[in-house]
């Protein structure tokens, strides 16, 4: 197909044309980095949520779900570190007036150096063929080693300065690296400053008694502050987990890239409470389980990469991202973090309430350690959508756009299509619709030629098209067209529910 940027543009256009995603407030020229899910989008999104919830909650006897409020006591965000440290370092270009994250500018610069290395490696691979050993080439080739040293030196200096909050040095680094604004091309930068990403608002009717309150930037804290309530009322024994799906809000600075980085988005998070000292085993186990959840959808392993964090947040003793091959490159889709007892201990301190667990097997009390799995629902939506979007050239020379969505995630499971409206075919098709609609989300469609209707359903990823023709009236059979193979088979109406049900079965391998 076309290059990735073009593919990304097509996916965005397709999302709008086929009722998946609209720009928020479009008739008022839109609101930046905020999107609405349309009639097909909301079905796909709900199916992703159900797939996650089923795998995490229903399939694990020791994981339960909650739905905590978006508004929470403001002290929670002091305890969690978000008031003090949930910042991005920002820099403005004085000529273009564009604002950038300083870390993104520096990382993009390093990515360009790495791209040069990759180019040399690709050339060498071509030259040496089968016998090429990339690891050996990387460790011996002088040019590659020199560039790798540059990357290491930049990483060390940048993250060192960030940790010390030495913003002047970050600006100096950007200048020394001669990083230019991608829009104006100039190096006329402002100072670097920290910008807190939380949205603030007021709670309370009268200004004197109103309190500053935040829109939650992650759902996890709603789980931490409820952990003891859930443990006691659910009689949960460690190890156990609490899962939650909900909205989160971040005032992102660099908010381009469609639904990849939004200001209002949804997270699916699970906190797994374990004995101190056992957290790294659980961390490894959850890394593998979460990757398997993705693979169970039938999306190829080559689309996923683990990125283990070298530099850890102050609360973590291990962290990894599952990166996905988005049209914008391999980027973070999900995070798995070993968060130690940082959050619970902080809430214990700030609230003055004991958050300990009495372990009957050890006969002792402790603050549990936590493994977190956190995936952005919108990013998962984008991953699934971009992986399934395809432009196919057919044997007769025509083209079709098709979404090869995993059947269980498809917004519509079956389209019910009478070949024509007359001769009682429409009435018969309605009967088939009524037989199926209780079990599956189906769509009845009698408008336009049958070929056009097939294309419409290919474009939204409907796994089955069911056509009602004259034979249906006498034989009680229909043609069942498979979205991917476009093969048609004649089946009995009485078999339809079972055939569709089978198609939707998902593996829950771990």
Smallest distance from ligand GAP to CB 283, Å = 14
CB nearer to ligand GAP: pick between 179 and 220: 220
CB nearer to ligand GAP: pick between 51 and 464: 51
DSSP string covering 240-281: EEEEEEEEEE---SS--TGGGS-SEEEEEEEEEEE-TT-HHH
How many separate helices (H) and strands (E) can be counted in the chain? 17, 23
Segments in 129-180 forming alpha helices (H): 134-140, 142-163, 167-176
Q: Is the dihedral of CA 135, 139, 145, 150 positive or negative?
A: positive
* 58, containing H or E segment: none
- Residue selected from 265, 304, 342, 381 as contacting ligand GAP according to rule CB under 6 A: 265
Asked if 88 touches ligand GAP (CB under 6 A), the answer is: no
Q: What is the dihedral of CA 316, 317, 322, 328, to 10 degrees?
A: 60
Smallest distance from ligand GAP to CB 233, Å = 24
Smallest distance from ligand GAP to CB 35, Å = 10
- Residue selected from 250, 290, 413, 428 as contacting ligand GAP according to rule CB under 6 A: 250
Distance CA 341, CA 370 (A): 6
Q: Which stretch binds ligand GAP (CB under 6 A): 74-82, 166-174, 340-348, 376-384?
A: 376-384
Nearest Cα residue to 481 out of 439, 507, 445:
445
- Residue selected from 181, 238, 262, 318 as contacting ligand GAP according to rule CB under 6 A: 262
- Residue selected from 88, 341, 343, 378 as contacting ligand GAP according to rule CB under 6 A: 378
Residues 319-338 that bind ligand GAP (CB under 6 A): 332-335
Asked if 41 touches ligand GAP (CB under 6 A), the answer is: no
Q: Which two tokens stand for residue 263?
A: 């200001």
CB nearer to ligand GAP: pick between 52 and 464: 52
The three state secondary structure string of 415-462 is EEEECCCCCCHHHHHHHHHHHHHCCCCEEECCCCCHHHHHHHHHHHCC
Asked if 456 touches ligand GAP (CB under 6 A), the answer is: no
CB nearer to ligand GAP: pick between 81 and 444: 81
Three-state DSSP state, 406: coil
The answer, yes or no, to whether the previous bond of 239 is cis (omega within 30 of 0) is yes
- Paired strand residues for 481: 465, 488
- Residue selected from 82, 261, 347, 404 as contacting ligand GAP according to rule CB under 6 A: 261
Smallest distance from ligand GAP to CB 45, Å = 13
Three-state DSSP state, 397: coil
Q: Which two tokens stand for residue 244?
A: 């939650």
CB nearer to ligand GAP: pick between 187 and 305: 305
Distance CA 188, CA 92 (A): 9
Asked if 214 touches ligand GAP (CB under 6 A), the answer is: no
The residue at minimum Cβ distance from ligand GAP is 376
- Residue selected from 92, 252, 278, 284 as contacting ligand GAP according to rule CB under 6 A: 252
| φ/ψ of residue 174, rounded to 5 | -60, -40
Q: Which two tokens stand for residue 147?
A: 């560039």
How many other CB atoms are there within 10 angstroms of residue 19's CB atom? 16
CB nearer to ligand GAP: pick between 7 and 309: 309
Q: What is the dihedral of CA 142, 145, 151, 153, to 10 degrees?
A: -100
CB nearer to ligand GAP: pick between 20 and 440: 20
Name the residue with tokens 């949205």.
Answer: 199
CB nearer to ligand GAP: pick between 236 and 333: 333
Q: Which stretch binds ligand GAP (CB under 6 A): 127-135, 232-240, 371-379, 448-456?
A: 371-379
CB nearer to ligand GAP: pick between 218 and 445: 218
- Residue selected from 267, 325, 338, 472 as contacting ligand GAP according to rule CB under 6 A: 267
Smallest distance from ligand GAP to CB 374, Å = 4
63 neighbors 243 (Cβ within 8 angstroms): yes
- Apex CA 358: angle with CA 352 and CA 359, to 5°? 145
Smallest distance from ligand GAP to CB 219, Å = 7
CB nearer to ligand GAP: pick between 43 and 334: 334
Q: Which stretch binds ligand GAP (CB under 6 A): 132-140, 264-272, 390-398, 426-434?
A: 264-272
Asked if 375 touches ligand GAP (CB under 6 A), the answer is: yes
Three-state DSSP state, 496: helix
Smallest distance from ligand GAP to CB 215, Å = 13
Q: How many residues of this chain interact with ligand GAP, rule: CB under 6 A?
A: 19
CB nearer to ligand GAP: pick between 173 and 262: 262
Asked if 218 touches ligand GAP (CB under 6 A), the answer is: yes
CB nearer to ligand GAP: pick between 377 and 416: 377
CA distances from 3 to 52, 323, 459, 481 (A): 31, 20, 20, 31
Exposed e or buried b per residue across 64-78, where buried means at least 16 C-beta atoms within 10 angstroms of its C-beta: bbbebeeebeeebbe
The 220-239 site mask, x for binding ligand GAP (CB under 6 A), equals x-------------------
Q: Which stretch binds ligand GAP (CB under 6 A): 117-125, 126-134, 142-150, 260-268?
A: 260-268
State the residues that interact with ligand GAP by CB under 6 A: 218, 220, 250, 252, 261-262, 265, 267, 269, 332-335, 372, 374-376, 378-379
């Amino acid at each position: 197909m076309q290059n990735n940027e073009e593919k990304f543009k097509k996916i965005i256009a397709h999302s709008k044309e086929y009722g998946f995603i609209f720009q928020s407030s479009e008739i008022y020229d839109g609101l930046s980095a905020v999107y609405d899910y349309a009639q097909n989008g909301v079905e796909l999104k709900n199916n992703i949520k159900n797939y996650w919830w089923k795998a995490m909650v229903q399939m694990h006897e020791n994981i339960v779900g909650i739905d905590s409020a978006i508004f929470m006591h403001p002290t929670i965000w002091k305890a969690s570190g978000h008031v003090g440290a949930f910042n991005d370092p920002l820099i403005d270009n004085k000529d273009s007036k564009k604002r950038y994250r300083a870390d993104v500018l520096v990382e993009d610069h390093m990515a360009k150096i790495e791209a040069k290395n990759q180019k040399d490696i690709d050339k060498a691979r071509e030259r040496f063929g089968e016998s090429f050993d990339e690891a050996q080439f990387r460790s011996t080739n002088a040019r590659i080693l020199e560039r790798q040293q540059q990357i290491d030196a930049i990483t060390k200096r940048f993250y060192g300065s960030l940790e010390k909050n030495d913003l002047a040095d970050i600006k100096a680094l950007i200048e020394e690296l001669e990083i230019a604004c991608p829009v104006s091309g100039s190096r006329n930068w402002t100072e670097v400053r920290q910008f807190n990403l939380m949205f603030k608002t007021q709670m309370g009717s009268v200004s004197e008694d109103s309190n500053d309150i935040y829109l939650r930037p992650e759902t996890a804290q709603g789980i931490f502050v409820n952990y003891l309530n859930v443990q006691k009322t659910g009689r949960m024994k460690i190890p156990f987990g609490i899962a939650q799906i909900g909205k989160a809000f971040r005032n992102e600075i660099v908010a381009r890239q469609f639904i990849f980085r939004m200001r209002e988005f949804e997270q699916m998070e699970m906190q797994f409470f374990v004995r101190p000292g056992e957290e790294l085993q659980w961390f490894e186990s959850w890394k593998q389980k979460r990757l398997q959840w993705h693979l169970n959808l039938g999306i190829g392993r080559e689309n996923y990469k683990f990125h283990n964090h070298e530099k850890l947040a102050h609360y973590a003793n291990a962290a990894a991202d599952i990166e996905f091959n988005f049209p914008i490159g391999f980027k973070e889709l999900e995070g798995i973090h070993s968060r130690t007892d940082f959050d619970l201990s902080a809430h214990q301190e700030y609230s003055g309430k004991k958050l300990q667990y009495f372990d009957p097997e050890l006969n002792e009390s402790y603050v549990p350690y936590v493994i977190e799995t956190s995936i952005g629902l919108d990013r998962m939506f984008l991953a699934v959508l971009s992986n399934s979007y395809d432009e196919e050239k057919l044997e007769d020379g025509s083209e079709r756009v098709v979404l090869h969505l995993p059947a269980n995630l498809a917004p519509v499971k079956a389209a019910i299509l009478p070949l024509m409206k007359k001769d009682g075919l429409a009435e018969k098709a309605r009967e088939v619709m009524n037989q199926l609609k209780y079990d599956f989300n189906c769509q009845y469609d009698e408008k336009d030629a049958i070929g056009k209707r097939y294309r419409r359903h290919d474009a939204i990823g409907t796994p089955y098209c069911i056509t009602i023709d004259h034979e249906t009236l006498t034989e009680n059979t229909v043609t069942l067209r498979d979205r991917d193979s476009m093969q048609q088979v004649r089946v009995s109406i009485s078999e339809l529910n079972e055939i569709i049900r089978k198609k939707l079965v998902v593996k829950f391998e771990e």
